[in-house]
Chains A and B, each alone.
Chain A
Amino acid sequence: MVWEWSIDGWILLAGVLSACSCALVGNFLVLRKLSLMGDAISHAVLPGLVIAFIVTNSRASLPMFVGAVIVGVLTAFLTQVITRHGKVEHGAAMGVVFSILFAFGLVLIRRAPGADHVDLDPECVLLGNMMQIGMAGFGGMFPTAITNLLIVMAANILFVGLFYKELRICAFDPELATSLGIPASVMHYALMVMVAITTIASFEAVGSILVIAMLIVPAVTAHLLADRLGAMIFLSLIAAAVSAVMGHVLAMFGPGWLGMKTTVASLAETSPMTAETSAMMAVVAGALLLAAVLFSPEHGLLGRAYHRFALATRIVGQDVLGWLYRGQEAGKHVMMRTEVIRVIGRSWQSRWALRRLQHQGLLDVETHESGEAGLRLTQRGRIQAERVVGSHRLWESYMSEHFDLADDHLHEPANRMEHFITPELQDELRRDVPDATRDPHGKPVPPLNDSLLDDS
C-alpha cells in the first residue's frame, strides 16, 4: 500500500476534524450522562436528511444541515416529552424516539415519491466514505466534506469557547444554573443542535455508527485522566486526534505488519478502505480508553496495584523499624540482618523494603567482625520507629478501654492499625486513653518526636 499525500492527507484531515468536533461536544454529553443522546441523534437525523433531499431535490449541504438540526431538536424534545408523560426513564425514551425516527427515515428512502433515486448507500451511512473524500481532493480540489467539517469544527470551538461557563454550570447543576438566570433547558437544546450538526458533518467521514464512538470514547478516556474540565476537554481532543491518525495509519499498514494480505486499493474499488479507516479509528479510540483504564494514575488498575505494593512495602518497613526499636528497649542496639529477615520473611519485597529504609537514611548497615551485616536505627529512624510503636501501644490502650477484649487479644489488631495512625489520630488517642504513658502491658509509650531528637 502506498501512502499518497494527495489522498491520504485529505483522509487524515477529515478524520482528525470529525473526531475532534465530536469529542468537543461529546465531553458535555458524557458529563451530563447523555451519552446515548449522541447515538439517538446520529440515527434520528436520517429522516431529516431524506426530507431535506426530497424538498430541495439536491444533496447540497445547507438543506441537509437544516434538516438535521430540526430532527436533532425534535429528538431531544420528544425524549423530554416521553420521559415526562410516558413514565419511562430517559434512556428508554431516547431508544423509543431514535429507533422510530430512524425507521421512518428508512421507509422514506424506499417509498417517498422522488426519493427512489436518493443515492444514500446504507453502507456509506453506517461506515462513512473516507476514500471518497480522499478522491475528491485528488488533483488539488478542495473536497466539500472538508469544508463542511472545517465550518463545523469552527462552530464547535466557538460554541464551547463562548459558552464554556454556561455549559459547565448546566452540566454540573442545571437547577442552580436556572436559578441564576442561565436557562439549562436552552443550553440543552443548543447542545443538541451542535451534536446534530457535528453528526451530519461527520457522517461522510466516519459514518453514523462510528460517530457515537467519537462522541463518547475520547471524552470518557479524558474523564478518567483529568480532574478539571479544561484538562478533560484538552485530553479528549488529543485522544480524538490520535485515534484518527493512528486509525488511518493502521488501516493502511496494519494488515501488512500482521502479515495479512493487504487490501488492494485500486482507485475504483474503494469500499474496503473506507470501512477500515473509520473502523480502525474506533478501535484505536477503544484501545486508548483501555490504556486509560489500566494506567490512569488514580483510577487505573496499574496505579492501584502500585499503591497496594507501596503500602505493603511501607508496612514491612515500619515493622522492621518497630522490631529494631523494641530491640533497643531491650538494650540491643544492633540486630543481625539475617535475624530481621527471618522475622519479616524472605521475600524480595522485604529486601526491597530494607533497601528503602537504608536509602531514606532511617537505617544504618554496619559489617560485623563475623562478616555479618548488622542493622541499627539512625536518629531519624528512631523517631519514625517511635511513631509506629507509640501508635501500636496507644491503640492497645484505646482498645482495652473501649472494647471488650482480653489483654492477650490486643496485640494483633494493634499490629495492623499501627500503620494507619496519623500523627493527628495519635494526638486524639493520647487524649482519649486513661494513661498515655503506658500501654496495658505496662510498656512505656514513646512521647511524640521532637523531645527525643537530642536523646541518642
Chain B
Amino acid sequence: MILNERRDVTAVADDHNASSPLSIHDMTVAYHRRPVLWDIDYAAPEGSLIGIVGPNGAGKSTMIKACLDLVPRASGSVRFHGGTYRAQRRSVGYVPQRESVDWDFPASALDVVAMGCYGRIPWCWPVRRKDREAAREALDRVGMVDYADRQISKLSGGQQQRVFLARALVQDARTYLMDEPFAGVDAATEAAIVTLLRTLRDGGKTVLVVHHDLQTVPEYFDHVVLLNMRIVAAGATAEVFTPENLQKTYGGRLTLLDKAAHVMASGGRR
C-alpha cells in the first residue's frame, strides 16, 4: 500500500525547516484507508498567532491531532522545533475541544488545571505544592482564580474553556495547538481569550487555533491556514485571506478528491 511506504528517516529530516516551531512535511491522514487530509505541507512561522480555518469536515481537528500523534498518519512527518513530537512533548501545549471530556468528573477547577503539570511530576509522585501554586497562578491569568475550588460541572461553558486554557498555560509550552477554543463561549470569554492569545504571542510563543468564525479572522490572526482536505492557501492573513481563496476553500468539496479517496478506501477495486 502506497500510504504506508516508509521513507528514509534522514531524508525526511532534511525536508523540515528546523527553525519552525511546527513543520509538517507531506502529511496524509486516512480513516480506514480513506484519506481525509491530503499532502499537508506547512511550516508555521515562529511567534505568530495562526488561525486554521475551513468548513465542517475539512479536517481541521484531525490536522492538529495528527501532529500530536493522537491520530495515526498514513504518510509524512511532523517536527516541533526540529524534533519529533515525542522528543519535544514538553514544549507543546494542546487545548482539546471542550466536549472531549466529561465535566461531571469529580474534580475542582484547580485539580484540572494542575493536570497540566503532570508531565513534569515524576511517576507515582503526588501533585506538589508548587504545582498547585502554578495552577492557581494560571487560573488568575484567565480571570478564574475565584472559581479555583468549584467543581467543574458548576462552571459555565466559557468558564470551562478558560479552565482548559489555564491548563495549557501551566504546561508552559513554546507552541500551543488549540481546537476551537472560541466554540460556544460568551463575548466576555472570547475577548479574554483573544487577549490571552496575544499575550502569549507577544511573549514569543506560537499559537495555532482551529477557528470557525470567518468574520473575526482578520482581527484575531496574523497568519491563516485555509484548509479543506488539503491546504488551499497559507500565509500572512493580509495576503492569503482573500475572497478567491475563501471561495476555493468553502466552495464545496473537491469531488475528484472524494472520488479518489473512495477508490483508495476500496483498495483500488472499481
Query: Chain A's nearest CB lies how many Å from the CB of B263?
Result: 20
Q: Is B96 an interface residue (CB 8 A)?
A: yes
In B97-129, the 8 Å CB interface with A consists of: 100-102, 105-108, 111-112, 115-116, 118-119, 121, 123-127
Docked complex: A164-199 residues within 8 A CB-CB of B: 164-166, 168-169, 171-173, 175-182
Interface size on B, residues (CB 8 A): 30
**How many inter-chain contacts with C-beta < 8 Å in the A-B complex?**
76
Point out the residue from A33, A162, A177 that lies within 8 Å of B118, measured CB to CB: A177
- Whole-angstrom distance between the alpha carbons of A250 and B117 in the complex? 48
In the complex, whether A108 has a CB less than 8 A from a CB of chain B is no
* A31 B105 Cβ-Cβ under 8 A: yes
* Distance (whole angstroms) from the CB of A163 to the closest CB of chain B: 6
Closest to A163 in B: B124
Q: A165-B127, A173-B96 are in contact. Are A180 and B119 (CB under 8 A)?
A: yes
**Option from A33, A162, A166, A175 in Cβ contact (under 8 Å) with B96:** A175
Of A52-60, A224-232, A307-315, the one touching chain B: A224-232
Chain B residues near A172 (CB-CB < 8 A): 101-102, 105, 107, 112, 115
Closest to A32 in B: B102
Closest to B65 in A: A175
Known: A169-B118, A228-B111. A179 touches B70 (CB 8 A): yes
Chain A residues with CB under 8 A of B96: 173, 175-176
Show 8 A/B contacts (Cβ-Cβ < 8 Å), sorted by A. A162-B124, A165-B127, A168-B111, A175-B96, A176-B94, A176-B96, A178-B69, A181-B119
Contacts of A178 in B (CB 8 A): 69-70
- Which residues from B are CB-within-8-Å of A181? 89, 119
Chain A residues with CB below 8 A from B105, complex form? 31, 171-172, 229
Are A228 and B107 closer than 8 Å at their CB atoms? Answer: yes
The answer to the question of B92 belonging to the interface, with a C-beta cut-off of 8 Å to chain A, is: yes
CA A33 to CA B105, docked complex, whole Å: 11
Interface residues of B in 70-112 (CB under 8 A from A): 70, 89, 92, 94, 96, 100-102, 105-108, 111-112
B residues within 8 Å of A by Cβ?
Answer: 68-70, 89, 92, 94, 96, 100-102, 105-108, 111-112, 115-116, 118-119, 121, 123-127, 151, 153, 167, 171
Question: A107-135: contact bitstring with B at CB < 8 Å (1 yes, 0 no)?
Answer: 00000000000000000000000000000
Chain A: how many interface residues by the 8 Å CB criterion?
Answer: 27
User: At the interface, yes or no: A223 with Cβ under 8 Å from chain B?
Assistant: yes
Known: A165-B121, A173-B100. A179 touches B106 (CB 8 A): no
* B124 and A173 within 8 A (CB): no
- B-contact bits for A218-257, CB 8 A (1 contact / 0 none): 0000010011110110000000000000000000000000
Q: In the assembly, what is the distance between CA of A162 and CA of B115, in Å?
A: 16
Q: How far is the CA of A172 from the CA of B152 in the complex (A)?
A: 12
Indicate if the CB atoms of B123 and A164 lie closer than 8 Å: no
Say yes or no: B106 contacts A231, CB within 8 Å: yes
Interface of B: prevailing SS: loop
Asked if B123 contacts A227 (CB within 8 A), the reply is no
CA distance A226 to B167 in the complex (A): 23
- Determine the residue in chain B with the shortest Cβ distance to A228: B106
Q: Would you give the shortest CB distance from A59 to chain B, in whole angstroms?
A: 35
Cα separation A119 to B185 with both chains bound (whole Å):
62
Residues of chain B lying within 8 A (CB to CB) of residue A232: 106
Q: Please tell me if the beta carbons of A175 and B115 are within 8 angstroms of each other in the complex.
A: no
A431 smallest CB distance to B (angstroms) = 16
Contact yes or no, B94 A175, CB < 8 A: yes
Name the prevailing secondary structure of the A interface residues: helix
| Distance from B104 Cβ to chain A, minimum over Cβ atoms (Å) | 8
Complex formed: what's the CA distance from A163 to B126 in Å?
9
Q: Given A173-B101, A176-B115, A180-B118, do A227 and B151 touch, yes or no (CB 8 Å)? A: yes
Apart from the given pairs A166-B124, A223-B106, 14 other A-B contacts in the complex at a CB distance below 8 Å: A31-B102, A33-B102, A163-B124, A164-B126, A169-B118, A172-B101, A173-B96, A176-B167, A180-B116, A182-B118, A227-B106, A227-B108, A228-B108, A229-B111
Given contacts A31-B105, A164-B126, A173-B96, contact A180 B111 (CB under 8 A): no
CB distance from A225 to the nearest CB of B (A): 10
- Least Cβ–Cβ distance between B265 and chain A, in angstroms: 13
Query: CA A7 – CA B106 in complex, angstroms?
Result: 39
Question: A148 vs B124: C-alpha distance in the bound complex, in angstroms?
Answer: 25
Q: How far is the CB of A229 from chain B (nearest CB, A)?
A: 5
* 336-358 of chain A: CB within 8 A of chain B: none
Q: Which residues of A contact B171 (CB under 8 A)?
A: 180
Write the chain A residue with the least CB distance to B177.
A179
Which residues of chain A have C-beta atoms less than 8 A from B153's C-beta?
Answer: 227
Residues of B within 8 A of A164 (CB): 126
Q: Which of A166, A178, A179, A229 has the most CB of B within 10 A?
A: A179
Report how far A178 CA is from B70 CA in the complex, Å: 8
Nearest neighbor of A171 in chain B, beta-carbon distance: B105
A306: min CB distance to chain B, Å: 18
Output the residue of A163, A176, A232 with the most chain B CB within 10 A: A176
Q: Which of A53-112 contact B (CB under 8 A)?
A: none
How many angstroms between the C-alpha atoms of A226 and B108 in the bound complex? 11
Inter-chain contact A179/B126, CB cutoff 8 Å: no
Interface string of A17-55 (1 = CB under 8 A from B): 000000000000001010000000000000000000000
Closest chain-B Cβ to A287's Cβ sits at a distance in Å of 23
Compute how far the CA of A227 lies from the CA of B107 in the bound complex, rounded to whole angstroms.
Answer: 6
Complex Cα–Cα for A227 and B154 (A): 10
- Chain B, Cβ-Cβ closest to A231: B106
- Expressed in whole angstroms, the Cα–Cα distance for A349 and B188 within the complex equals 41
List the B residue with the shortest CB-CB distance to A232.
B106
Smallest Cβ distance from A172 to chain B, in angstroms? 5
Q: How far is the CA of A231 from the CA of B107 in the complex (A)?
A: 10
User: Is the pair A229, B106 in contact by a Cβ cutoff of 8 Å?
Assistant: yes
A180 contacts across to B, CB distance below 8 A = 89, 116, 118-119, 171
Considering the chains assembled together, what is the distance between the CA atoms of A214 and B151 in angstroms? Answer: 26
| A345, chain B: closest CB distance, angstroms | 34
B84 to chain A, nearest CB (A): 13
**Are A229 and B107 within 8 A (Cβ)?**
yes
* CB of A101, distance to nearest CB on chain B (Å): 27
Complexed CA–CA distance, A356 and B123 (Å): 55
A232 and B111 CA atoms in complex are apart in Å by: 14
Q: Which residues of A contact B108 (CB under 8 A)?
A: 227-228
Shortest beta-carbon distance from B152 to chain A in Å? 9
